[in-house]
Amino acid sequence: MALEKITQVAGRGVYVPGEDLDTDRIIPARFMKCITFDGLGEFAFYDARSFAKADGQVHPLDDARFQGASILLSGSNFGCGSSREHAPQALYRFGIRAIVAESFAEIFFGNSITLGMPCVIASSEDIRAIAALIESDPAALLTLDLTEKKISIADTDFPVTIADHAHEALVSGKWDAIADLLEGLDAVKSRANALPYMAA
């Protein structure tokens, strides 16, 4: 199963500010009544978008200026809460291909990498600076360069970090672990045989 080597993500950006944006916010549980992930994209941040609309405001994801954006920026502890893969799946199906935040909740991070959606960390100041540049020119192209570990917009570079293992997995095209795991099946069986509770 050859996967694409993900070294760069380029696209327009959208800033969804907030700390601790949890998975219930990203995809409310009532939209998880499904047996496939198809069609989840339209429910990304559903309630937050509806609230904005009801208040006569526009949520960044509905703002015409940011339509088609593929790089999402946010605050710290992004994706905290539930382990639902529905959350990164909804963002991916909405069109997001990379997320830049101050920090990520662990399960969300792992789920995103497995989809080949890089989650990189930038400082609060840099995220605000990038958000300001997007605000002043929504058509500006952002380039996330995983090899150089930087994100660029309007000739300005900002450093980003990502855990080494996730970096390696993305750039080597091994972000979905299943192929590697399957290669170890003989070793799995001998390890399982050594554990009494694994006996049939």
List contacts with other proteins (CB under 8 A): 1, 17-20, 22, 24-25, 28-30, 32-37, 47, 50-51, 76-77, 80-86, 88, 103, 105-107, 110-111, 114-115, 163-165, 168-169, 172, 174, 176-178, 180-182, 184-185, 187-188, 191-192, 194-198, 200
Side-by-side strand order, sheet with 13-15 = 13-15, 71-73, 98-101, 119-121
**Among 117, 109, 122, residue whose Cα is nearest residue 160:** 122
Query: How many other CB atoms are found less than 10 A from the CB of residue 129?
Result: 15
Least distance between other proteins and beta carbon 160 (Å): 17
**61 CB-near residues (< 8 Å, 6+ apart):** 14, 16, 44, 45, 49, 94
Least distance between other proteins and beta carbon 58 (Å): 17
* Rounded-to-5 percentages of helix, strand, coil across the chain: 40, 15, 40
Task: Tell me whether residue 64 or residue 194 sits nearer to other proteins (CB atom).
Answer: 194
Least distance between other proteins and beta carbon 15 (Å): 14
* DSSP strand pairing (119-121 vs 150-153): unpaired
Least distance between other proteins and beta carbon 142 (Å): 24
* DSSP strand pairing (8-11 vs 13-15): unpaired
Task: Tell me whether residue 153 or residue 162 sits nearer to other proteins (CB atom).
Answer: 162
Least distance between other proteins and beta carbon 23 (Å): 8
Least distance between other proteins and beta carbon 112 (Å): 9
Cα separation of 101 and 161, whole Å? Answer: 10
Q: Which residue(s) pair with 98 in the sheet?
A: 71
Task: Tell me whether residue 11 or residue 81 sits nearer to other proteins (CB atom).
Answer: 81
CA angle in degrees (0–180, nearest 5) for 168-174-180: 115
Task: Tell me whether residue 17 or residue 68 sits nearer to other proteins (CB atom).
Answer: 17
